[in-house]
């Protein structure tokens, strides 16, 4: 017995996929936002450096020596990390902030530059006054910007760390609610009785699952029809077999009770006739039961004319015994895709029916022809024919036309119809030549 392995959980897979997708989208967004924020922050702080330098240039001059910067109180936690210097003629330090070093903040005399002083990185903006007498340099330690960048990163990541678990819980409940119809459908199937083939309720299932439910309902309908057909077939077969078996039993009882040899011999002959009839019926039933599509999964070209020759030769003794002239019209080789054994059974049943229902002294003709519609096999007899209003019924199992004196099972034409359907062929019934008798034709597509 093969081991059954549980498949993956759709709920768990959706949760993981949605969370990973959300996390990836959020991380990518954070990276771009962080990069853009740092760029804008650098631009803003550089603008502050340039603005501060401009303000200092506006304040310096002959009053520069009177500005007290040594005892200016720190007003912000970053005050000690921001500094300025005023150099007279670019080489004499005349003014500086308390946090400024004694060496130039930058070797450049104009514009923005980066420098390292005492192991610390500085961002510096340098500019001359209008007379180019004083050089002003304003700088801030890179540590300030790094601290700001770290704070920004923490502020961006903190909501993610808080909301991701909450989002996971919301997604879990959302997925669970969305998959609840599947759980209901699974329970509905699990609780179903083995003999129940009623369609599944498809009104509340999601659109994505609707094709599966509709497919299952179609499967249930086909199984239900198949079981109904088999039940009818079994009931009809039992009914049909009851008659010949009862007749055999009756004749056996007559033979056992007979006192005269002639009477006993006649009863025994009837027993043999009943056995032949029951054997024929059982053979027809077995043939009908074996007609499945798998039998013709491979269709090789078969010669209809050669098959007709073999069948006519096989049934010739039966026709001679009934004084029926069995003829096969001359024709050329006609090939069509099909299963030769099944096509032979189709031909045998058509010709056998024609012989059975043709009065002695009449003619039964079989013919094979090639037409625009395909290959056609026809059998024409001179029997009583079939009324137009009952022609559609003769294809059903165990149906027999009333008013005939011939014994039969009512399965011959049903077998013909089944084999024709398996080959995609069309079986038709019409009047025979001159409006007398019956013509049955089977057209095989090319």
* Range 158-171 burial, b when 16+ CB lie within 10 A, else e: eeeeeeeeebbeeb
Domain at 210-290, CATH class: mainly alpha
Instruction: Give me the residues paired with residue 367 across strands.
Output: 378
Q: Evaluate if residue 87 carries a pLDDT over 60.
A: yes
pLDDT winner (highest mean) among 229-233, 259-263, 320-324, 404-408: 320-324
CA separation for the pair 415, 350 (Å, rounded): 10
Res 72: pLDDT: 40
Task: Give SS3 for 300.
Answer: strand
The lowest-confidence range among 171-185, 195-209, 344-358 is 195-209
CA separation for the pair 247, 168 (Å, rounded): 79
Q: What is the DSSP letter of 382?
A: -
With the C-alpha atoms ordered 268, 270, 271, 276, is the resulting torsion angle positive or negative?
positive
Res 389: pLDDT: 62
Spacing of C-alpha 35 from chain mean position: 45
Task: Answer yes or no: pTM beyond 0.85.
Answer: no
**CATH classification number, 297-444, choose in 3.30.565.10, 3.90.550.10, 3.40.50.1370, 3.40.50.720:** 3.30.565.10
Domain ranges of the chain: 10-61+77-191, 210-290, 297-444
If pLDDT is split at 50, 70 and 90, which confidence band does 168 have?
confident
Dump pLDDT digits (tens) for 170-189. Answer: 888 887 777 777 777 777 77
If pLDDT is split at 50, 70 and 90, which confidence band does 90 have?
confident
The lowest-confidence range among 23-27, 69-73, 149-153, 290-294 is 69-73
| Matching residue, tokens 């010709």 | 351
Dump pLDDT digits (tens) for 274-330. Answer: 787 677 667 766 765 666 555 555 567 888 888 889 888 888 888 888 898 988 888
Res 66: pLDDT: 46
Over the chain, what is the mean pLDDT? 77
Q: Evaluate if residue 65 carries a pLDDT over 60.
A: no
Dump pLDDT digits (tens) for 122-148. Answer: 888 888 888 888 888 888 888 888 888
């Amino acid at each position: 017995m093969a081991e059954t392995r549980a498949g993956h959980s759709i709920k768990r897979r959706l949760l993981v996929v949605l969370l990973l997708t959300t996390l990836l989208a959020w991380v990518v967004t954070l990276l771009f936002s962080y990069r853009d924020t740092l760029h804008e922050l650098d631009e803003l702080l550089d603008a502050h450096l340039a603005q501060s330098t401009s303000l200092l240039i506006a304040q310096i001059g002959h009053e520069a020596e009177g500005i007290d910067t040594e005892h200016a109180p720190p007003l912000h936690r970053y005050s000690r990390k921001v500094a300025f210097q005023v150099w007279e003629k670019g080489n004499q330090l005349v003014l500086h902030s308390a946090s400024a070093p004694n060496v130039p903040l930058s070797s450049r005399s104009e514009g923005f530059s980066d420098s390292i002083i005492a192991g610390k990185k500085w961002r510096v903006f340098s500019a001359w006054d209008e007379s180019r007498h004083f050089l002003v340099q304003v700088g801030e330690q890179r540590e300030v910007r790094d601290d700001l960048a770290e704070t920004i990163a923490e502020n961006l990541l903190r909501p993610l760390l808080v909301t991701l678990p909450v989002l996971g819980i919301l997604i879990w409940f959302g997925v669970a609610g969305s998959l609840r119809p599947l759980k209901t459908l699974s329970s509905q199937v699990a609780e179903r009785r083995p003999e129940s083939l009623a369609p599944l309720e498809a009104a509340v299932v999601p659109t994505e699952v609707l094709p599966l439910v509709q497919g299952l309902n179609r499967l249930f309908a086909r199984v239900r029809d198949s079981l109904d057909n088999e039940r009818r077939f079994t009931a009809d077969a039992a009914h049909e077999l009851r008659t010949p078996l009862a007749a055999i039993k009756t004749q056996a009882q007559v033979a056992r009770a007979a006192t005269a040899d002639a009477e006993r011999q006649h009863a025994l002959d009837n027993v043999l006739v009943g056995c032949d009839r029951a054997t024929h019926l059982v053979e027809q039933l077995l043939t009908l039961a074996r007609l499945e599509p798998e039998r013709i999964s491979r269709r090789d070209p078969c010669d209809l004319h050669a098959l007709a020759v073999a069948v006519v030769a096989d049934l010739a003794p039966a026709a001679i015994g009934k004084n029926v002239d069995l003829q096969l019209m001359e024709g050329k080789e006609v090939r069509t895709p099909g299963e030769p054994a099944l096509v032979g059974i189709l031909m045998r049943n058509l010709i056998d029916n024609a012989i059975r229902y043709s009065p002695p002294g009449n003619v039964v003709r079989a013919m094979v022809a090639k037409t625009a519609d395909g290959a056609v096999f026809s059998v024409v007899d001179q029997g009583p024919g079939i009324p137009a209003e009952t022609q559609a019924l003769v294809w059903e199992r165990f149906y027999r036309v009333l008013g005939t004196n011939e014994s039969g099972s009512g399965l011959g034409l049903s077998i013909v119809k089944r084999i024709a359907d398996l080959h995609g062929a069309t079986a038709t019934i019409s009047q025979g030549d001159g409006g007398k008798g019956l013509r049955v034709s089977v057209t095989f597509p090319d």
